[in-house]
Structure 1
Amino acid sequence: MAGEDVEDDDRTEEPSQRRLEQAIQRGDVAKSVEINTLFVLGGFALGLMILAGPLSRNLALDLRGFLMNAHQVPSDGAGMTAAFRHALGALFGALALPLGFAMLAGLAGTAIQHRLLWTFEPLTPKFERLSPMAGMKRIFGKEAIVQFVKGLAKIGIVGGVAASILWGERDRLDGMARLDPHALLATTLVLALKLLGGILAIFAFLALGDAIYQRIAWQARQRMTRRELKDEHKQEEGDPEIKGRRRQIARARLRKRMMAAVPKATVIVTNPTHYAVALRYESGMAAPVCVAKGVDALALRIRAVGAEHGVPVIENPPLARALHATVEVDAEIPVEHYKAVAEVIGYVMTLRRRAG
């Protein structure tokens, strides 16, 4: 966008709704990685809790058979490779469903933060990214420092919680070497779930704080300069000169249409020189309709055209001003003026009958 090289100090205006929508369309959204991490860990823990029993039994049976026949495994490279592949296959088969839970939970973590978007904008090459100064700014900028400090704090807090949980289970850890495979797997699952529970509790607080920070940072990133705000307002509202020209054309068309309708008017109500309102009424109409109105020069033009075509002109200053203020062209007169207009049209009809 224009203005990306503007210093942040110049971006003092809050972003408009259009600016925010354009950012979202580009894929620039307020997204917290910590929320995704929280959901992934939560999904994995949920999968382990639901499938802990079947997983431990199946894995124990598989490993028990492998350990009981360990003496038959060839000690050469091919034999060890096959044994390693077998162990990895058994482990992956046991963890496949919990990992599937984690993947679905990760997608859910993204979906709750913003609606799904399809955009290639982030993948589009941008030459300004090749600038050494831009690279230094990304590495040593404010955002990079915040992410570095946040990463250190996260490692320290999560590591401290994990160490505290494992330290409390040190006696159980010492005895795990003497357990049979089935009991060993059950104990490992219990410790894993306990460890995941503690880490999830910490990540819940980290995710909440990071989500708030990311939202504030995103709003700050979308701030605009006064010039950008002014240009956007001009684009939305249109150039004043063009708008003025459009209004002038609209007025000219309306004046032409009114002058063409004046000869069909039933009466022209004036005050007598400043206002003129031409009304048309025919049998069967619900109410008289205003076909033309104007002030000063336009009022005189309406009277002149009416006179050329024999349209009666009635001077009634209060009614002329009231009609001009309350009725639009091609609209029926308001109810409150029915009586006064009826008297005027009745008078005109009487004159026509006498003339006939």
Structure 2
Amino acid sequence: MADGEDKDSKTEEATEKKIRDTVEKGKLPHSKEAAILTSFVAILVFTVFYAREAVLSLSVFLSSFLERPESWPMDTETDVIQLYSMVLAEIGRAVVSLLVLLVVAGIGASIFQNLPQFVGERIRPQWSRISLFQGWKRMFGVQGFVEFLKSLAKVGFAITVLFFALSQTHRQLLNGMITSPVEFVQVIRSIAVQILVAIVFVMAVIASADFVWSRFHWKRDLRMSKQEVKDELKQSEGDPIVKSRLRSLARDRARRRMMTAVPNATLVIANPTHFSIALRYVRDQDAAPVVLAKGQDLVALRIREIAKEHNIPIFEDVALARSMYKQVSVDSVIPSQFYQAVAELVRVVYSNKAERRRVT
């Protein structure tokens, strides 16, 4: 009952993350019928384009062997092995094209369905693969029953189509029996082509249906409940405690970076204890004053301490400090509405520097 309720609760489509994780584990939709279809197509191509020459070549070799057996010595073990190797080589040459086509067809069917990728999870030993109980469930469970029905339907459909396709082949066989062996081979080849065309047609229909079903079934199995979607969203956004800790670390890093920049400031504007803003303005380098650091309360006091240690002028202006603190950003130039007020302070700084140079 719990399983049924659990399946009923999975009403949401799978998220991109779940699909990506499933693909990375190698759990992809796969139609077995597509591979069978491509195999029969390969056999059909071989029969149409290569079988005649391959069979004739093999027939010539076998006829010479059978008609003149005395020309093949078999007195020693070496003679037998040599003859055996020659026969195997001739048979190999006859079927090598078929083997190549089958390999190409198998690889093509896999690539057509899913791009190849290495998945270590698929080769990792798992108890469920050798468990008798799990094997029994796979064979006699719902999925096994569905596969059994698919096999029955496939066999029934194939028999029906083949029956209609080959209803007249017995006449071809009877007519071929009164012809020469070479012509009879052509009759057999023609019948084989008819059989293969019928099988390919049947498998094309079955493979198309199975291809669509496998993907529908795969997406249905990936469905998630509303709670799973919420949990995944929460996980992707991060735990609130962890996020708070990360924000705290980011603030600490930004604060340390600001403090290291304060010694390069031209002046500091402060609201005696609550706000401090460190500004840099270098003629011919900065188009406008740049905010190097800003802080409130303890951070503001620390900025003032560093400024005093490096003899950086500090201007106490309550209204200006409070207003600037709310509107400026670190590593950015000040807004234009503060240009005039800050320019007057910069002018004082440069005047004091010029006065000190004259005194020295």
TM-score class, shorter? 0.7 to 0.9
- The Cα of 1:39 is off from its aligned counterpart by 1.3
| Deviations 1:236-258 (CA, angstroms, capped at 9, x unpaired) | 54433233223223323433443
Deviation at 1:88, TM superposition (A): 9.2
Q: Give the equivalent residue in structure 2 for 1:327.
A: 329
Aligned partner of 1:311 in structure 2 is: 313
Distance 1:164 1:87, change over 3 A: farther
1:183 deviates by 0.7
Q: Is the 8 A contact 1:319 1:340 kept in 2?
A: no
Q: Are the equivalent residues in 1 in contact too, given 2:290–2:332 (CA < 8 A)?
A: yes
Residues 261 and 168 (structure 1 numbering): CA distance in 2 closer, same or farther, change over 3 Å? Answer: same
Residue 115 (structure 2) aligns with: 115
The 1:353–1:26 alpha-carbon spacing in structure 2 relative to 1, beyond 3 Å, is: closer
2:211 corresponding residue in structure 1: 211
1:77 alignment partner in structure 2: none
Cα 1:270–1:62, aligned 2, differ >3 Å: closer, same or farther? same
CA contact (8 A) 1:277 1:293 kept: yes
Residue 157 of structure 1 deviates from its aligned partner by 1.4
Please state how far the C-alpha of 1:109 moved relative to its aligned partner: 1.0
- Equivalent-residue separation in structure 2 for 1:220 and 1:327 (angstroms): 50
Letter in 2 for 1:41: F
Which residue in 2 is equivalent to 1:249?
Answer: 249
Cα deviation, residue 336, structure 1: 5.2
The number of residue pairs the alignment matches comes to: 337
CA distance in 2, matches of 1:22, 1:119: 12
Please give the alpha-carbon distance, in whole angstroms, between the structure 1 residues aligned to 2:96 and 2:213. 34
Matches of 1:69 and 1:272, distance apart in 2: 118
The CA deviation at 1:318 is 7.5
1:290 matched to 2:272: no
Residues 45-68 of structure 1: per-residue CA shift (max 9 Å, x gap): 112222144124324434655776
Q: Residues 269 and 313 of structure 1 are in contact (CA less than 8 Å); yes or no, is this contact kept in structure 2?
A: yes
Secondary structure of 1:211's partner? helix
In 1: Cα distance, 2:136 partner to 2:217 partner: 20
- C-alpha distance in 2 between matches for 1:341 and 1:40: 84
Q: CA deviation at 1:166?
A: 0.8
Find out whether 1:151 has 2:151 as its counterpart: yes
Could you state the TM-score of these two structures normalised by the residue count of structure 2?
A: 0.74
Instruction: Say if 2:50 is the partner of 1:48.
Output: no
Structure 2 residue matching 1:194: 3-state secondary structure: helix
CA distance in 2, matches of 1:51, 1:129: 41
Deviations 1:276-335 (A, max 9, x none): 43211234423433211235664566467657855232648579646754533xx24168
Q: Sequence identity of aligned pairs in percent?
A: 29
Q: Shift of the alpha carbon at 1:167? A: 0.5
Check the 8 A contact 1:10/1:225 in 2, yes or no: yes
Question: CA separation of 1:255/1:63 partners in 2, compared to 1, >3 Å: closer, same or farther?
Answer: closer
Distance 1:23 1:353, change over 3 A: closer
Deviation at 1:182, TM superposition (A): 0.6
Code of the residue aligned with 1:292 in structure 2: it is A
**Segment of structure 1 superposing worse, 35-44 or 275-284:** 275-284
Q: Equivalents in 2 of 1:250, 1:242: separation in Å?
A: 12
Distance verdict in 2 for CA 1:144–1:67, change over 3 Å: same
* Correspondence for 2:77: none
Hey, what does 1:38 align to over in structure 2?
Answer: 37
Separation (CA, whole Å) in 1 of partners of 2:332 and 2:343: 16
Cα distance in 1 for partners of 2:341, 2:142 equals: 74
Secondary structure, aligned partner of 1:28 = coil
> CA 1:318/1:52 → structure 2, altered by over 3 Å: closer, same or farther?
farther
Name the amino acid aligned to 1:206: I
Q: Which structure 1 segments of 5+ residues have no match?
A: 71-84
Give the direction of change, closer, same or farther, for the CA distance of 1:98–1:135 in structure 2 (3 Å limit): closer
Verify: 1:28 aligned to 2:32, yes or no: no
How is 1:167-316 mapped onto 2 (pairs within 5 angstroms)?
167-224=167-224, 236-262=236-262, 264-269=264-269, 276-287=276-287, 288-295=289-296, 298-299=299-300, 302=303, 306=307, 309=311, 311-313=313-315, 315=317
**CA contact 1:266–1:311 (8 Å) conserved in 2:** yes
Letter of the 2:209 counterpart: G
Query: For residues 181 and 252 of structure 1, what CA distance do their matches in structure 2 show?
Result: 93
Q: Aligned pair in 2 of structure 1 residues 62, 306: CA closer, same or farther (>3 Å)? A: closer
* Residues 89, 195 of structure 1: alpha-carbon distance in 2 compared, 3 angstrom cutoff: farther
Separation of aligned partners in 1, 2:131 and 2:107: 34
